[in-house]
Structure 1
Amino acid sequence: MERILSSLAHTESILRLGLPSRSALLVATLRAAHQLLDHPPLFADPLALPILGPELEAQLRAQLPRYAHGPARQLRGATAVRSRLAEEELAAAVACGVRQYVVLGAGLDTYAYRCHGMPLRVFEVDHPATQRWKRDQLRHAGIAAPPSLTFVPLDFERDTLDAALAAAGCRLDLPVFLSWLGVTLYLSDDAVFETLRVVAGLPAGSAIVFDYGVVPELLDLFDRMGMAYFAARFEAAGEPWKSRFAPAVLQSELRALGFGGVSDYAADALRTHYLGGRGDGWHLGGAMRLVVARTGAPPL
């Protein structure tokens, strides 16, 4: 994994250079590796390989052993688990009548192209440079964007989410389901809470799934060392980690923003629910957690 990340390293911010997010590329590669290495896949994505394009897919297949062991296996498992949970929560929201799905920091996410038969409008929100790269990848792979999809360019540190969504045609007076995976680490605390403030103000029935990093002082030695390892390498790649949270404090902040229901999933709960009985040898560390936050009154 060190060789994978170091090959992406730059001394300046990747996005300021107008290039796609290196973290988005890594996540897409891990998702594709999951399709090749894990049987059955925890998160099946038939477009994960095609969207990489022939050159990147060939590189992945040639280097596949790098993704089979050590830190790469841990990251691969975490990527699959969070995607699975997010799309399960989305399916539940659709069953309850939600008809708008916002993918924050979409990267090379493929939901809109795999599931365009669903009764949903999908809004992919991402940095303009990453969106240009994705549209090139889609074009080269021959993957058509469905009419139900809208691209929404946004810089989370500078732009306002509600204004961008409204301008793109998202009905903010109706419930919305949002996923926000692999993004909060790279944003300032202020940017994270500004986005969550917007989501908390959406109508009852709305919800967001997001992941976050835990502050180092609450981690055991193994997880603390692992987080330091990855943080240093992402910083060398031009994408430093900017925010991490204490779970109890974050949960309190979410309720103060107005969320009626907050479920914060630790690694043990995710491991039991998703990985029990699998022989993959995946280890989900305690450094990352997943949250489902819902608007409206809390359940009785």
Structure 2
Amino acid sequence: MKTGRPSRTAYSAARYRAAHQVLDGGAIFADPLAVRIVGEEPETGEEPGRRGQRLFIAARSRFAEDALAAAVVRGARRVVILGAGLDTFAYRNPYPGLEVVEVDHPDTQAWKRRRLREAGIEVPPTVTYVPVDLEKDTFVAGPGAFVMWLGVVPYLTRGAFEETLGGVSEVVFDYAMPTASMSRERRTALEARAARAARVGEPWRSSFQPDELAALLRERGFGEIEDLGPAELAERYFGRPGVPKDTPGGHLLHARKA
């Protein structure tokens, strides 16, 4: 990220969430504040190559908030949103007494709070803001907290990822697979996206094979792991059963310590 500027990738993700409400009617993930917080007209035309990323981002938020709902039933009273960007959960939180802690880079967090004021979105007393640069600082979520960590892990070094993971007991995050395992066409498309992110100061720094990541999580005490790859995502959220199980692409993962 460039000093003094908010995250461009956080802005891009927010634009995709807003576009999902308009182009897809929020079919996968309904967010009544997504358009307001962006503060610009969302995309209203389908552009080649954007639909897949838009649906993945919608599924990512749906997966995370479904897992959070289950955690609240089990007694969770605190959710930590690492790399909150323009996420709106805290401002439509349906769970009385659930504390929401938004953690983000200081520049991005200041931008988000400005956007909330400009959009007229009320900040509930249950929300706390913590400015942290996860590449430089350590953040401990605390026992019993549910952690949403969306759109962040690929931009962290493995060291920063593992250090942050050490202070977590239940988490949802997304991760990228190494491009070497992909077809030439898919690899070229992802490398182009990575190059665009690098140009705005947010290079991709980590990727994992699913088995490798599962082993790392088990070593750290996570006994329950659900990992959805492209095939599982297509069947659960996109109405497309039959996608080959070994299809490479972005993954969503929910892990909980026993």
Identity of aligned residues (%): 45
1:190 aligns with 2:159: yes
Please give the per-residue CA displacement for 1:99-130, whole angstroms capped at 9, x wherever unaligned: 11011100000001012553300000100100
Q: Counterparts of 1:277 and 1:260 in 2: how far apart (Å)?
A: 29
Counterpart of 1:5 in structure 2 is none
- State the Cα distance separating 1:225 from its structure 2 match: 2.0
CA contact (8 A) 1:264 1:290 kept: yes
Structure 1 118/69 Cα, relative in aligned 2: closer, same or farther at 3 Å?
farther
- Letter in structure 2 aligned against 1:161: F
1:80 aligns with 2:58: yes
Q: Counterparts of 1:272 and 1:250 in 2: how far apart (Å)?
A: 22
CA contact (8 A) 1:224 1:287 kept: no
1:93 aligns with 2:55: no
- State the Cα distance separating 1:246 from its structure 2 match: 1.4
Counterpart of 1:103 in structure 2 is 81
Q: Counterparts of 2:85 and 2:152 in 1: how far apart (Å)?
A: 10
- State the Cα distance separating 1:154 from its structure 2 match: 0.7
Q: Counterparts of 2:189 and 2:240 in 1: how far apart (Å)?
A: 25
Counterpart of 1:282 in structure 2 is none
The gaps in structure 2 that reach 5 residues or longer are 242-246
Runs of 4+ with deviation above 6 angstroms = none
1:126 aligns with 2:104: yes
- Letter in structure 2 aligned against 1:259: F
CA contact (8 A) 1:116 1:146 kept: no
Q: How is 1:1-300 mapped onto 2 (pairs within 5 angstroms)?
A: 13-14=1-2, 16=3, 18-53=4-39, 57-58=40-41, 60=42, 64-65=44-45, 68-115=46-93, 117-162=95-140, 165=141, 172-173=142-143, 175-199=144-168, 202=169, 207-276=170-239, 286-296=248-258
Please give the per-residue CA displacement for 1:215-265, whole angstroms capped at 9, x wherever unaligned: 112223332222112111111222111111111111111111111112211
- Give the TM-score of the pair, scaled to structure 2: 0.93
- Letter in structure 2 aligned against 1:64: T
CA contact (8 A) 2:222 2:255 kept: yes
Q: Counterparts of 1:46 and 1:79 in 2: how far apart (Å)?
A: 16
- Letter in structure 1 aligned against 2:17: R
Q: Counterparts of 2:249 and 2:119 in 1: how far apart (Å)?
A: 35
User: Of Structure 1 and Structure 2, which has the larger fraction of its residues in helix?
Assistant: 1
- Letter in structure 1 aligned against 2:189: G
Q: Please provide the CA RMSD for this pair.
A: 1.7
CA contact (8 A) 2:79 2:98 kept: yes
Q: Counterparts of 2:137 and 2:26 in 1: how far apart (Å)?
A: 40
Structure 1 137/294 Cα, relative in aligned 2: closer, same or farther at 3 Å?
same
Name the count of aligned residue pairs. Answer: 253
Counterpart of 1:281 in structure 2 is none
- Letter in structure 2 aligned against 1:149: V
The gaps in structure 1 that reach 5 residues or longer are 1-12, 166-171, 279-284
Please give the per-residue CA displacement for 1:130-182, whole angstroms capped at 9, x wherever unaligned: 010000000111111100000011110111111xx5xxxxxx34x11111110
